[in-house]
Structure 1
Amino acid sequence: MDEAHKLNTWEGYVDWRNRPAVRGRHGGTLAATFVLVVEVLENLAFLANASNLVLYLSKFMHFSPSSSANIVTNFMGTAFLLALLGGFLADAFLTTYYIYLISASIEFMSTFLLPMSVVASRELVETVSVNFPFKGTLSVVIQRQAINDLTMRQTCAPANRINCFDLVSFIDGTGTNLMPYRMMSGPTVEKHGLLVLTIQARVTSLKPPACFSASTSISCEQVDGRKAMVLFAGLYLVALGVGGIKGSLPPHGAEQFDEKTLQGRKQRSTFFNYYVFCLSCGALIAVTLVVWVEDNKGWQWGFGVSTAAILLSIPIFLIGSPVYRTKVPIGSPITTIFKVLAAAAYNTYRFRNSSNSAIGMDTSRTSDTTETRDQGEGCNTKRMELCHTPEESIRFLNRAVKSKTANPMLECTAEQVEEVKIVLRLLPIFVSTIMLNCCLAQLSTFSVQQASTMNTDLGSLKVPPASLPVFPVIFIMVLAPIYNHAIIPFARRVTKSEMGITQLQRIGTGLALSVVAMAVAALVETKRKRVAADSGLVNSTEPLPITFLWIALQYLFLGSADVFTLAGMMEFFFTEAPKSMRSLATSLSWASLAMGYYLSSVLVSLINTITGRYGDTPWLFGSNLNKYHLERFYWLMCVLSGLNMLHYLFWANRYKYSSTRKSLSQPNS
């Protein structure tokens, strides 16, 4: 009976009620499909805010272009870096299922703070009071407000006051103001409810005074103080929710497939390809429909779409609960890593002058068999490959395993040592991808600002600059299915291998494309500045007589790099990592993005410091993009990307896949 039960259940996996997952009922393509649909909505919500954020900060919060770029890269970098926290919690304490639900709830709640930065930013210039009696002595005083914003004067005309803002006060019989609220009239009140009112009661205007200038030489007052604090609090609460989702959703989808079968491994690879496809679907809606809404209807409506999208994703995810399977958490992977490192260092120091200094698995494999059996998860048939560590592989860590140790807390099994070795082998590949993501950071910063200075007319259609990422997004949506259904099958027939194109080859292709993309970006910026000079528009805010489609060229190359690299990284880290660390390892893909965004900010600041000290003016300083030396920055990025490519090739050529290591260890087992 017990043997039959084991055959019918997924070992090490449970359902959403923490019961053993059953074969044929839990996991599979249907379960992964729910994850893909949820990812469309989640990425829509995230990018709807992020794609236009740089223009919002520069035009409404009056940050300089370089400051706006740094704020956006820091925000997105933090969001992606927090994926490590989500992955860690999923591996150590909770499942990917519950981490997603918690994170989505945080993102949903925090998105309310962003509409508040718009709703609460209008200034009172006139008041009309109306009393509505309630039972007893309580009445409500509604004070209509017009807006000190030239673009909204007609909206707030007396004949159309439904679109203005209200100041609501609950007044008792003595005239005491019991509870002041700010709220928005019309259907938005119903959407945001009391939560919005409560937040608005305690949040003052987040915008600085309105600034209307036709010349780039006039400085506007930048948001600061408590206003800036509330703005950044809202942004980084969103980042916390996004990070948890990014750290849990991809591994949750990948967990649904049986890696012990060829079909399961192929389906898992397909899942990662379509995960990137779904990322692009959400991004497409975000940079077209939502950006148009923000530009034409107001920022509060764009933020409202984000809130609705993340709210809708939660019940859709819950619908798939009966078919999900999730890996059982088995404790902190960070603890294992530090334990092995500490044990290796401790044993090296303690026995370096001892006659018994020959410690480690490679010198006592026979005697270790009995020891590891006593230590719990030792050498067994299913995990034999982890018990025979290659002697050439990071031999220092072998010293963490010895027959007798003075500190029981530092006792390590051969399996634990090998798991740490696997993680250390992944790190050089991880580091090599950071520069690529530094290039990708330019998609949401300087490239958008470049396009905002150019002619964005496409026939009779005027394209918002923040919608420029539509070009790489569409290309990814076209390339991902072609890659999965045409390129990979062809490569499998040619190479006669299961993978066709290895994950490291895929990542390397993306790195090479990033070098080309930065060279193209430098050439396009040189042309844009030449047009500005020839037209006499260097100091003007008028659109330059050059089409924004030139910027699309660098977007296409970077988009191609992303479709190769992101899916390759996620599949590589998930497949190669120990099972106890897979969520955390998969999060390295997002951590690489985070490091890339942070590196972009550091490079901008560093370049400004160095060029300002040894030149006339910093390359990337001021409010006039036409006076920047952005083309030099792009050429520098091109050179750094080329050097990074060489660094990647060094490590990729020396890396051995886990399947290769297992096959090499079998003859010795």
Structure 2
Amino acid sequence: MDRGELIEGKVDWKGETAEKNKHGGTRASLFILGAFTFENMATMALAVNLVTYFIGVMHFDIAEAANQLTNYMGTSYILTILVAFLADTYVGRFKATLLATSVEFLGLGLLTLQAHYPKFKPPFCKVFDPTSHCIQVNGANAALLFVSLYLIALGSGGVKAALPSHGADQFDDKDPKEARQKSSFFNWLLLAVCIGGAISFTLIVWIQDHKGWDWGFFVSTIAMFFGIIIFAAGLPRYRIHVVKGSSALAEILQVLVAAIRNRKLQLPVDCNELFEIEKDKAAAMQFEFLPHTNDFRFLDRAAIHTSSQHNSPNPSPWKLCRVTQVENVKILLSMVPIFCCTIIMTLCLAQLQTFSVQQGVTMDKSITKHFQIPPASLPIIPVVFLVIIVPVYDKIFVPFARKFTGIPTGITYLHRVGIGLILSSISMAVAAIVEVKRKRVAKLSNMLDANPLFQPPLPISVFWLSIQYFIFGIADMFTYVGLLEFFYSQVPKDLKSISSCFLWSSMALGYFLSTVIVKIVNLATKDITRSGGWLAGNNINRGHLNLFYWLLSTLSLFNFCVYLLVSKRYKYRQDQSAESLSDNRVHEAGRLEP
């Protein structure tokens, strides 16, 4: 039987070397996209509607409910680091994804159980009734709530860590056609998020609000089950990355330790004297090579080859590192400022998932005389737009821009990120203006002191909030997909799962920062407001959410200015094979567009 072209470093489900004509490619990625669609369908309703669940069922106040949600979201994203490390080093990306989806399924099942049985939650009471004394969930019931949530957080984080990289593994970067398909895969990954989110924001949110939280969580559990089945069904077609059992993170630590140990050594004038393995064909099959650069010169000390090491056949990797190993650490360090500049954007996103939902609770939600849109379903507006615009962007804009720029992705990754960052600032400014209008209507309607849950809706349409969601949705398309591609393309090949964690970790820090900012703002303003702080209390009409939005818009604008400076200085990595790397490999790496 004729065998197709083999893919080095990738195997099929039997452990045999993967074949290009049988494994991977676009057809294999469809299973991954399908699974990601169902995973987002199962969980995205939680991101926008859990605040309502925390307030109405678990009896948290608005600020505490918002903080509980952002803590949950932040934990989900920060756990991607742990799962990505295990996926790259020991478990493998396919197994990590399968385990993560199973854990997420278990967490959703437990959450459904608690929502269904009254004995697992606090008794009903009117949360905003001043004569009521609502008791927050505590004891064993609180334990069940947080175990359920953080099992979902662990599973969701695992999927985000391993699944995008497993999807990218289905394409060969050395094949120009497959390299373009991989770029499209990241765009279609966003489309999968949008389709899953569209169903979650409408169907599942509607079920939660009208049929009960237990039914809503149950549908999410079933969606997660289908996601597991679809992902597992693609196993015969997958190219599975071979884990080596050694950690690329350990190699990073080796460079830092060796550089510190050799800090007193003099750097050679000729950088060709720095240590690198022989560039024969065998090495070309196993190692990547990077040219030397003059950035972060103190790290070059890790590659100084001393006379004693010349006499040692196997020098300690904690004392002597390859030039390529050092260059990989330099690339990671140069990515840190880009990473930091993306944190503020998630800080803004957190407010759209928390306070904006509570704004919508007070507004007129009517679409027709007999149908109202749930406030938590408002993100469907940018999602529907993205479902339309992502294919247009991928199939029309990218090929058109490619003709002028010569860049496979149309515009650079960092250009995409920058567009998203400035749009997030605009989104927060619009949110502030809309909140001023909403409060003016509340004042004219004599509802500033009315109970937000039991008052009639304000005579202002909830669709005013769609403007800020719409702008932020476009920002999502540019920034998050651009960051996924950017991080995946720049990190060492053994850290591909970790690459997606740069994005998710920045989002985690953004959510945690939201918790901190909310508390700081309330503390700083408690003596100058009647409600005890801009965001304190349960009456959003008496709060000063508009000022908080202006604060975030200003922070985002400042963050964008910083981003312009750091992105302009960033240099894209230059990969070279052992055969193409000349003996004179010492040169300054110029800016190489992706």
> Normalising to structure 2: TM-score of the pair?
0.91
Contact kept, 8 Å, 1:511 with 1:645, in 2: the verdict is yes
Q: Does 1:61 align with 2:58?
A: yes
Contact kept, 8 Å, 1:34 with 1:317, in 2: the verdict is yes
Q: Does 1:495 align with 2:492?
A: no
> Gaps spanning 5+ residues in structure 1: where?
122-204
Give the whole-Å Cα distance in 2 for the aligned partners of 1:585 and 1:95: 15
| Counterpart residue number, 1:304 | 218
| Counterpart residue number, 2:570 | 655
Q: Does 1:358 align with 2:266?
A: yes
SS at structure 1 position matched to 2:332:
helix
| Counterpart residue number, 2:441 | 531
The alpha-carbon distance between structure 1 residues 215 and 98, as it changes in their structure 2 partners (threshold 3 A), is same
Give the whole-Å Cα distance in 2 for the aligned partners of 1:607 and 1:213: 24
Give the alignment partner of residue 419 of structure 1, picking from 317, 328, 331: 328
Give the whole-Å Cα distance in 2 for the aligned partners of 1:91 and 1:257: 17
Contact kept, 8 Å, 2:160 with 2:504, in 1: the verdict is yes
| Counterpart residue number, 2:104 | 107
| Counterpart residue number, 2:139 | 225
2:61 is aligned with what amino acid? S
Alpha-carbon shift at residue 384 of structure 1 (Å): 7.0
Give the alignment partner of residue 300 of structure 2, picking from 398, 410, 425: 398
Q: Does 1:36 align with 2:33?
A: yes
Give the whole-Å Cα distance in 2 for the aligned partners of 1:216 and 1:486: 57
| Counterpart residue number, 1:185 | none
| Counterpart residue number, 1:327 | 241
Alpha-carbon shift at residue 76 of structure 1 (Å): 1.1
Give the alignment partner of residue 429 of structure 1, picking from 338, 350, 374: 338
Q: Which stretch has the larger CA shift, 11-20 or 102-111?
A: 11-20
Q: Does 1:257 align with 2:171?
A: yes
| Counterpart residue number, 2:10 | 13
Alpha-carbon shift at residue 99 of structure 1 (Å): 0.4
| Counterpart residue number, 1:626 | 541
Contact kept, 8 Å, 1:45 with 1:286, in 2: the verdict is yes
Give the whole-Å Cα distance in 2 for the aligned partners of 1:582 and 1:537: 53
1:304 is aligned with what amino acid? F
The alpha-carbon distance between structure 1 residues 65 and 213, as it changes in their structure 2 partners (threshold 3 A), is closer
Contact kept, 8 Å, 1:340 with 1:397, in 2: the verdict is yes
The alpha-carbon distance between structure 1 residues 479 and 659, as it changes in their structure 2 partners (threshold 3 A), is farther
Q: Which stretch has the larger CA shift, 410-419 or 91-100?
A: 410-419
Alpha-carbon shift at residue 434 of structure 1 (Å): 0.8
SS at structure 2 position matched to 1:269:
helix
Name the count of aligned residue pairs. 570
The structure with the largest alpha-carbon Rg is 1
2:353 is aligned with what amino acid? S
Alpha-carbon shift at residue 666 of structure 1 (Å): 6.2
The alpha-carbon distance between structure 1 residues 380 and 29, as it changes in their structure 2 partners (threshold 3 A), is closer
Contact kept, 8 Å, 1:48 with 1:303, in 2: the verdict is no
Q: Does 1:580 align with 2:494?
A: yes
Q: Does 1:443 align with 2:352?
A: yes
> Gaps spanning 5+ residues in structure 2: where?
310-314, 586-594
Quote the RMSD (CA, aligned, Å). 2.5
| Counterpart residue number, 2:467 | 553
| Counterpart residue number, 1:182 | none
Contact kept, 8 Å, 2:24 with 2:239, in 1: the verdict is yes
SS at structure 2 position matched to 1:112:
helix
| Counterpart residue number, 1:82 | 79
**Structure 1, residues 280-338: CA drift from partner, whole Å, max 9, x if none?**
10011111011111111111111111111111111211211111012212321221111
Q: Does 1:592 align with 2:506?
A: yes
Contact kept, 8 Å, 1:359 with 1:401, in 2: the verdict is no
Alpha-carbon shift at residue 489 of structure 1 (Å): 1.5
SS at structure 2 position matched to 1:621:
coil
| Counterpart residue number, 2:275 | 368
Contact kept, 8 Å, 2:288 with 2:576, in 1: the verdict is no
SS at structure 1 position matched to 2:526:
helix
| Counterpart residue number, 2:312 | none
| Counterpart residue number, 1:476 | 386
Give the whole-Å Cα distance in 2 for the aligned partners of 1:213 and 1:249: 40
SS at structure 1 position matched to 2:571:
coil
| Counterpart residue number, 1:295 | 209
| Counterpart residue number, 1:267 | 181
| Counterpart residue number, 1:514 | 424
| Counterpart residue number, 1:345 | 260
Give the whole-Å Cα distance in 1 for the aligned partners of 2:16 and 2:536: 58
| Counterpart residue number, 1:389 | 292
2:139 is aligned with what amino acid? G
The alpha-carbon distance between structure 1 residues 275 and 241, as it changes in their structure 2 partners (threshold 3 A), is same
**Structure 1, residues 30-70: CA drift from partner, whole Å, max 9, x if none?**
01111111111011111133331110101111111111111
Contact kept, 8 Å, 1:86 with 1:246, in 2: the verdict is no
The alpha-carbon distance between structure 1 residues 556 and 358, as it changes in their structure 2 partners (threshold 3 A), is same
Contact kept, 8 Å, 1:216 with 1:623, in 2: the verdict is no
Give the whole-Å Cα distance in 2 for the aligned partners of 1:561 and 1:666: 42
Q: Does 1:244 align with 2:158?
A: yes
1:650 is aligned with what amino acid? L
Q: Which stretch has the larger CA shift, 220-229 or 579-588?
A: 220-229
SS at structure 2 position matched to 1:111:
helix
Give the whole-Å Cα distance in 1 for the aligned partners of 2:154 and 2:408: 38
| Counterpart residue number, 1:152 | none
Give the whole-Å Cα distance in 2 for the aligned partners of 1:40 and 1:216: 43
| Counterpart residue number, 1:646 | 561
